[in-house]
Structure 1
Amino acid sequence: MHANAQLIQTFYQAFQKLDAETMASCYASDVLFTDPVFPALRGREASDMWRMLSTKAQNFSLVFDGIEADDRQGKAHWVATYTFSQTGNTVVNDIHASFEFRDGKIVRHIDRFDLWKWARQALGLKGLLLGWTPVVRNAVQAQAAKGLAIFRTQSA
């Protein structure tokens, strides 16, 4: 197994255990993380997002597969199942991740998933009816950013 494939595997094995510190150790200090909810987190912000999600996780499980990597890039597929704390709804989020590496660390991590599907599960009827709109996407992103900012302030 390529060293960068092992790095991805270490990242997701840590995620399964909600071990955000090990996850953070897989990242370069200037990592860029992006997904439909957190569109651009850099450096410690990205690690703090995993710390926040790990501390708030309810009824969490994760499976992963499809890890491939070479010296420059990699990919994986993962599915997280959890209770969305704001509604109590169960979410099964199917995610495709891509990675770029530098010096044995992840320098870019992009997660892709269907935000409308996520919104239907997490938000219920509101997500079903409006989850595809930029208004809901922007509201979800704003709420996530606010939650991360509060977490970072309280953790400082």
Structure 2
Amino acid sequence: MSHPNTNSELIGRFYQAFQKQDAEAMGACYADDVVFSDPVFGELRGEQARDMWRMLVARAQDFSLTFDAVTADERTGRAHWVARYLFSQTGREVENRIQAQFVFRDGRIVEHRDSFDLWRWSRQALGLKGALLGWTPFVQGAIRAQAKKGLDAYRSKRG
């Protein structure tokens, strides 16, 4: 059974790999049956979640990441992280502030749930359209549909 320091270290390894844009090392922190969710991609399971990180790392432009407030016990953990990057579809700078929650099993992450303000993100990533309409279910649905389409295309190319 893992203890709190081990799970805190696991979160640290995950984000340190993310800082290096090493999606394989990130994926190695996940259990095979991991469940990931966030406001853009919704719920992803197993290899879908790993492929999302692979895709995001592969597309990252002017990327940097910081993380802090890591806490963990034997079962759960939390962290705060900030990603800064150019959104590839618009070339606009984004600073996304994210709260992460984790559930652990057997020294791996079995659940990873990120939460952030999708309207704040859309204002940065989409500009005027995001500022004016990013709060609406229609635009947020379009953002999610585009993310799903992008991940599906990425996964089909990976084979």
Tell me if TM exceeds 0.5.
yes
User: Identity of counterpart residues, as a percentage?
Assistant: 62
The one-letter code matched in structure 2 to 1:8 is I
Separation in 2, partners of 1:70, 1:39 = 26
SS at match of 1:109: strand
Matches within 5 A, 1:1-156: 2-156=5-159
The one-letter code matched in structure 2 to 1:103 is D
Structure 2: stretches of 5+ with no match in the other structure = none
- Residues 14-70 of structure 1 show CA distances to partners (whole Å, capped at 9, x for unaligned) of 000000000000000111100000110000000000000000000000000000001
SS at match of 2:42: coil
Separation in 1, partners of 2:38, 2:140 = 12
How many residues align? The count is 156
SS at match of 1:28: strand
Separation in 2, partners of 1:41, 1:155 = 17
Runs of 4+ off more than 2 Å: none
Q: State the 1:92 CA deviation.
A: 0.2
Separation in 2, partners of 1:145, 1:18 = 21
- Residues 135-154 of structure 1 show CA distances to partners (whole Å, capped at 9, x for unaligned) of 01110100000000000011
SS at match of 1:58: coil
Separation in 1, partners of 2:152, 2:111 = 21
**TM-score normalized with structure 2 length:** 0.97
Separation in 2, partners of 1:48, 1:87 = 22
